[in-house]
């Protein structure tokens, strides 16, 4: 099991917004042989299920804290083994990280992976089309302005 830092670095390398670099617009069925594409789809699939979306949201909400698997199961009101299966899906998609502490395994959200997913999706908007991006950015301006975090 990686340290949290190591895991975060690993997740940061999962997604590479390279899809649009190879100009496959003429053949836009995303090839499943393309690692990046499969990972994006895997991540979308992982979140496209009620229990898993709820779990991911809860983990993001408490980040950088972690929640034990059993606790996630209880709060989701699903059997322990079902939650284990769900967490495995999120793990495989790189959206969560886990760490064993005694008898418990704690899970936390991987924000870099989430960031990469959103970036990959929004890339469609920004890539040479800033006029499409601006309305999207405006959604976050209350958050943005409040911290004056403009780089």
| Contact residues for DNA, defined by CB under 7 A | 45, 48-51, 68-71, 73, 78-89, 98, 100, 102-105
- Contact pattern from residue 46 through residue 75 relative to a copy of itself, giving x for each residue in contact according to CB under 8 A and a dash for the rest: -xxxxx-xxxxxx-xx-x-----------x
Q: Of the two residues 1 and 134, which places its CB atom closer to a copy of itself in the complex?
A: 134
Q: Of the two residues 105 and 111, which places its CB atom closer to a copy of itself in the complex?
A: 111
From residue 142, alpha-carbon distances to 11, 36, 137, 138, 139 in Å are 28, 32, 10, 8, 8
From residue 136, alpha-carbon distances to 34, 53, 113 in Å are 28, 22, 20
73: part of which helix (H) or strand (E)?
A: helix 69-76
From residue 86, alpha-carbon distances to 35, 72, 117, 138 in Å are 22, 10, 19, 34
- Contact pattern from residue 110 through residue 149 relative to a copy of itself, giving x for each residue in contact according to CB under 8 A and a dash for the rest: -x--xx--xx-xx-xxx--xxxxxxxxxxxxxxxx-xx-x
Is the Cα dihedral 10, 32, 30, 34 positive or negative? positive
Query: How far, in Å, CA of 98 to CA of 4, rounded?
Result: 9
Q: Of the two residues 5 and 140, which places its CB atom closer to a copy of itself in the complex?
A: 140
Using the rule CB under 8 A, is 35 a contact of a copy of itself?
no
DSSP helix/strand/coil, 81: helix
DSSP helix/strand/coil, 11: helix
Using the rule CB under 8 A, is 21 a contact of a copy of itself?
no
Please choose which of a copy of itself, DNA, none residue 40 contacts, taking the beta carbon within 5 to 8 angstroms, the exact cut-off set by kind: a copy of itself
Which residues of this chain interact with a copy of itself, rule CB under 8 A?
A: 19-20, 25-32, 37, 40-41, 44-45, 47-51, 53-58, 60-61, 63, 75-78, 111, 114-115, 118-119, 121-122, 124-126, 129-144, 146-147, 149-151
């Amino acid at each position: 099991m990686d340290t949290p830092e190591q895991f975060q670095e690993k997740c940061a390398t999962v997604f590479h917004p390279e899809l649009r670099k190879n100009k496959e617009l003429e053949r836009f069925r995303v090839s499943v042989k393309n690692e990046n594409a499969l990972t994006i789809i895997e991540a979308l699939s992982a979140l496209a299920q009620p229990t898993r979306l709820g779990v991911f949201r809860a983990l993001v909400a408490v980040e950088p804290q972690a929640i034990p698997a059993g606790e996630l199961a209880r709060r989701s009101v699903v059997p322990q083994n079902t939650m284990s299966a769900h967490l495995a899906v999120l793990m495989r998609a790189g959206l969560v990280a886990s760490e064993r502490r005694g008898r418990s395994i704690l899970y936390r959200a991987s924000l870099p992976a989430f960031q990469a997913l959103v970036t990959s999706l929004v890339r469609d908007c920004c890539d040479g089309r800033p006029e499409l991006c601006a309305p999207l950015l405006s959604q976050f301006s209350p958050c943005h302005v409040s911290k004056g975090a403009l780089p």
